[in-house]
Amino acid sequence: MKKIDRLPGKITIGEKYRPAMQITDQAEADAYFEMCVEHCMRHGRSREEAVAIEKQNLGYYAGYYDNKTRKRVERLFCCAHPVFGAIAAVGSPTPEQAFNLGAAWASKVS
């Protein structure tokens, strides 16, 4: 992964979270997470809010990857998918379970 010290102010979701999906080292994950938190705080969030947001976003983004990647990301970033939970705890949902969990979540937030 290309080393950077700070995320740009304007960045796409993919540009921000795709690099995290490649990380395998805890120290590198910790440094990248701090960059994500700092980026979020530049957009008006407190550190506490930024940590929660970044953990949810990383967990959500990892849900688009294979189970091996998702487990690694959840472990390195101490995160979980905001709807499905951590794969280590609940496993990977079937398409029907994913739909039902998403529908239940949507009914709570609407």
Q: How is the chain split into domains, by residue range?
A: 13-82
- In this structure, are residues 74 and 86 in contact, taking their beta carbons and an 8 Å threshold? yes
For residues 101 and 74, what is the distance between their CA atoms, to the nearest angstrom?
19
User: Could you read off the pLDDT of 77-101 as tens digits, one per residue?
Assistant: 999 998 888 876 666 777 787 777 7
Phi, psi angles (nearest 5°) of residue 85? 85, -175
Task: Give the model's pLDDT for residue 94.
Answer: 73
| pLDDT at position 92 | 72
pLDDT at 24: 98
How far, in Å, CA of 63 to CA of 97, rounded? 14
> What is the model's pLDDT at position 8?
94
What tens digit of pLDDT does each residue of 30-83 get?
Answer: 999 999 999 999 999 999 999 999 999 999 999 999 999 999 999 999 999 988
CA distance 26 to 72: 10
d(CA 73, CA 71): 6
**pLDDT interval class at 2 (50, 70, 90):** low
Predicted model pTM: 0.83
How many Cβ atoms from other residues are within 10 Å of residue 58's Cβ?
26
Q: Are 100 and 59 in contact (CB under 8 A)?
A: no
